[in-house]
Amino acid sequence: MNTTDKKIAEVLAKFGEPMAGNIWRVQGTAVIYHKALERIAAQAAIQFEPPTIIRAERDEAVILVTGRMGERVEWSIGEALVGTNYRVSGKQAAYVYAMAEKRAKDRVILKLIELHGLVYSEEEADEFKNSRPAPAEPQAASERTAVEIVGPEAGVEAELKGKISKAKSINAVTDLMLHADTQRILNDLPEGVRDEIRDFAKARLVELGWPSKKAA
């Protein structure tokens, strides 16, 4: 695990969150789920001041958000402009204010926990969500390196949980959850099932002694 990953793992562990199930990578960039940042904000007792609306248009919103964590204060700006940094498709509604607020709050949280610049929120850019690994093409048996699961969702969940249970160390669980094949599988599952598997992985990490120096 490189220095950046160690820093990320150490900070997340302070708030009871593992890297496994919370972080994935887009072209080498570490990306974290918005839900994970919301949980961290709650654990850290981060308080947000009422936002300041800088720009308010039908297809654009720019919002200034300030957050406090103890004596620390940070602010950031969230912006969403349909067709530029916020894309909608088909009949999907464009919630520019909600997106701008999410982006601003996520940036403030990352600043307050000192991960800004090391990790980006999934809401930061559409390409982060859209660049999650696509379903893998069939591989030869000798090339299957991590997780290969077929069948109904229940079978997928059971097999992945089985692999998590068999992991013998904190690093083994983390490597499994961060593996591109695992990310492909999780991405194709319903959100509720994905969250359940994430919680199962976290429980296994705790069982193995996480958080500890080994987790870093």
Q: Which two tokens stand for residue 144?
A: 């299957």
Instruction: Give the mean pLDDT of the chain.
Output: 84
Residue 11 confidence class, pLDDT cut points 50, 70, 90: very high
| CA distance linking residue 99 with residue 141, whole number of Å | 43
Position 181 confidence tier, pLDDT thresholds 50, 70, 90: confident
What is the secondary structure of 40-75 as a DSSP string?
HHHHTT-EEPPPEEEEE-SSEEEEEEEEEETTEEEE
d(CA 171, CA 44): 25
Alpha-carbon gap, residue 10 to 182, rounded angstroms: 22
Give the pLDDT confidence score for residue 215 in this predicted structure.
44
For residue 76, give the DSSP letter: E
The answer on pLDDT for 214 being more than 50 is: no
Q: How many CB atoms lie within 10 A of CB 172?
A: 16
Domain ranges of the chain: 1-40+118-138+147-216, 45-112
pLDDT digits (tens, 9 = 90+) for 117-147: 999 999 987 667 655 544 434 344 334 344 4
Largest CA distance in the chain: 56
Phi first, then psi, for residue 32 (nearest 5°) are -120, 145
66-80, 99-113, 142-156: segment of lowest average pLDDT: 142-156
